[in-house]
Each structure stands twice: as structure tokens, then as C-alpha cells.
């Protein structure tokens, strides 16, 4: 069953989503060569507390941390560790979700650590843009397949592949609700999008093939061929005025040299 949200419910999700976005924005300052991925976990947890949101992933199906930290060939669901040190030129996916006043929101970014290769930076840009292609297609009257097709076609035109085994999802009073939102598919396929639907759209893009396997820790998904992978995600609402991004930090971005 698909739960559509009222404007006041969407307003609450927007408040929670803004806090989630602030946590990820802060990570742009935290992430640098030489830090451990456990440092990212500490900072996410500390910030969530101070913003009054509850991390959504910790304890979800037994996942042990507040934030998923996935380095290089890790696709999603990497577990922060005091043993894992970020190196110059890595890319690091950060996926964070939270519960606020009864509603979840979920977002992800992939950040460069120092100066990754040109090809790695292109992977980040293509994945980020693919997310926005998907969001732009989330219009009343379109279907889930239109979002999926927009993402897949953009990624493949750029020579990369979309991961098929993990998908985006409806979100609201539960972290995962119907409908599923795949990152591949045919236009005009699947559930029709309606006013008030709230969706987590989350392309995962591999530089090589689309194959993925899960490591022995039971969580960390990596590319089968060892190629780099990137992940971007927003929680959005479908409205008569077009898609509304809920995981958006309203604080003006500080100008920085990079
Ligand atoms: N953004 C991911 C998702 O929507 C994060 C879930 S990770 C888990 O599925 F740890 F909570 F499982
Ligand atoms: Co998600």
C-alpha cells in the first residue's frame, strides 16, 4: 500500500530532511585524507543528537551504525570502522537517514577525499546528475519507470552502469515503503506517481559492470569487478507544482576555495 502524505506531513518531512542534509553537508568538512571512517560515524551521531533527529539505520535489520560509509569499490552499506583510514584520492559514499516527529528521511552523497582521478570525479558528477534527472522526472502522472529510465539512460550514455540489486523506495512513517523505485527500467512502466507520494530516489553507479556482491560482514556491498562505485540520494515529495526535494539544507553554503 502506498501512503500519500498531506502538506503538513510533508512539511514535517522537510524539517527532518533539512537536518539530514545538514549532517551530510558537515561531512564535506570532516572528510579528508588520514581520518578513519569511525570519525565520520562519531560526527554523524553527535550532529544528529544536537539537531534533535534520531539516526534511522542503527539497529535496522541489525545494521550496527548511524551512517553507512562506503569507500571506492564499496557500493553501499559499508560499516564505519576505526581501522579504515581514508586515503588521498579515495571516494567515499555517505548514506544517512533519520526519524523526526514520526517521519523518516534518507539521503546520500559521495565525496572526494583530496583529489581523486579525473575518471573518479566524472563518476561522482554523472551519478549526482543522474539523481537530478530522476528527480526531474518525478512528476504527477509520470510512472516509476519514467524516473528509472531517466536515471539509467543518462548513466549509460556516459559509459557507466547502474546497480540493479538495490533500489530506491517510498518513505514516510517507515524507512522503506511502497513503491520500489529502481534505477533501471522502461518509460511508462509501473506505479503512477500521484500528489503526496514521498520517495527516496538513490542511483548507485558503477564505473565498470553492474555486478555487486556482499562481503562476509553481511553488509558491505562491493562491485564484483573491483571498479569504483558512487551513490547519491534525496528524499522528495511529488507535488502538483513538481518534485520537492525534502533533504535540502536551507543554510546558505559558505563560499570556499574548492
Ligand atoms: N539508504 C539506504 C536504504 O534506503 C540505507 C539503508 S541501510 C541500513 O535502504 F543500514 F539501514 F540498512
Ligand atoms: Co534509501
- Is residue 99 assigned to a domain? yes
C-alpha 168/C-alpha 182 separation (Å) is 6
Ligand 1 atom at shortest distance from the alpha carbon of 95? 1
110-128 pLDDT tens trace: 999 999 999 999 999 999 9
- Is residue 2 assigned to a domain? no
| pLDDT at 193 > cutoff 80 | yes
Ligand 1 atom at shortest distance from the alpha carbon of 175? 4
Place of cell 518534485: 243
- Is residue 46 assigned to a domain? yes
- Is residue 66 assigned to a domain? yes
Q: Are 40 and 80 in contact (CB under 8 A)?
A: yes
Tell me which residues have their CB closer than 6 angstroms to ligand 1: 57, 60-61, 63, 68, 77, 95, 97, 106, 169, 200, 233
Of all protein residues, the one whose alpha carbon is nearest to atom 6 of ligand 1 is 57
Q: Which residues surround ligand 2, an ion (CB under 5 A)?
A: 106, 200
44-64 pLDDT tens trace: 999 999 999 999 999 999 999
| pLDDT at 131 > cutoff 60 | yes
Positive or negative: CA dihedral 244, 69, 64, 66: negative
Task: For residue 55, give Cα distances in angstroms to 18, 120, 140, 161.
Answer: 14, 29, 30, 30
- Is residue 251 assigned to a domain? no
**258: confidence class by pLDDT, cuts 50, 70, 90:** very low
- Is residue 138 assigned to a domain? yes
C-alpha 25/C-alpha 176 separation (Å) is 23
Structural domain of 13: 7-245
**254: confidence class by pLDDT, cuts 50, 70, 90:** low
Give how many domains the chain has, as a whole number: 1
Predicted local distance difference test score (pLDDT) of residue 250: 80
The CATH number that applies at residue 225 is: 3.90.230.10
151-192 pLDDT tens trace: 999 999 999 999 999 999 999 999 999 999 999 999 999 999
- Is residue 106 assigned to a domain? yes
| pLDDT at 1 > cutoff 80 | yes
Closest Cα partner for 117 from 255, 239, 230, 246? 230
User: What value does the mean pLDDT take over residues 5-12?
Assistant: 98
Ligand 1 atom at shortest distance from the alpha carbon of 63? 10
- Is residue 37 assigned to a domain? yes
Amino acid at each position: 500500500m502506498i501512503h500519500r502524505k498531506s502538506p503538513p506531513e510533508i512539511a514535517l518531512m522537510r524539517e527532518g530532511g533539512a537536518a539530514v542534509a545538514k549532517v551530510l553537508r558537515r561531512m564535506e568538512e570532516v572528510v579528508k585524507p588520514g581520518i578513519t571512517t569511525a570519525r565520520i560515524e562519531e560526527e554523524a551521531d553527535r550532529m544528529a543528537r544536537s539537531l534533535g533527529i534520531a539516526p534511522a539505520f542503527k539497529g535496522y535489520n541489525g545494521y550496527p551504525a548511524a551512517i553507512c560509509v562506503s569507500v571506492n569499490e564499496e557500493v553501499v552499506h559499508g560499516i564505519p570502522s576505526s581501522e579504515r583510514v581514508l586515503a588521498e584520492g579515495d571516494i567515499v559514499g555517505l548514506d544517512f537517514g533519520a526519524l523526526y516527529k514520526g517521519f523518516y528521511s534518507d539521503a546520500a552523497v559521495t565525496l572526494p577525499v583530496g583529489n581523486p582521478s579525473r575518471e573518479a570525479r566524472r563518476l561522482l558528477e554523472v551519478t549526482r546528475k543522474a539523481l537530478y534527472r530522476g528527480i526531474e522526472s518525478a512528476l504527477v502522472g509520470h510512472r516509476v519507470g519514467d524516473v528509472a529510465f531517466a536515471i539509467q539512460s543518462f548513466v549509460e550514455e556516459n559509459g557507466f552502469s547502474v546497480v540493479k540489486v538495490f533500489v530506491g523506495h517510498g518513505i514516510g512513517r517507515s524507512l522503506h515503503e511502497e513503491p520500489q523505485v529502481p534505477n533501471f527500467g522502461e518509460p511508462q512502466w509501473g506505479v503512477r506517481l500521484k500528489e503526496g507520494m514521498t520517495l527516496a530516489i538513490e542511483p548507485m553507479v558503477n564505473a565498470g559492470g553492474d555486478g555487486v556482491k556482499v562481503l562476509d560482514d553481511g553488509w558491505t556491498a562491493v562491485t564484483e569487478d573491483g571498479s569504483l562505485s558512487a551513490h547519491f540520494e534525496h528524499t522528495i515529495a511529488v507535488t502538483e507544482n513538481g518534485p520537492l526535494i525534502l533533504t535540502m539544507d536551507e543554510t546558505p553554503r559558505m563560499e570556499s576555495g574548492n
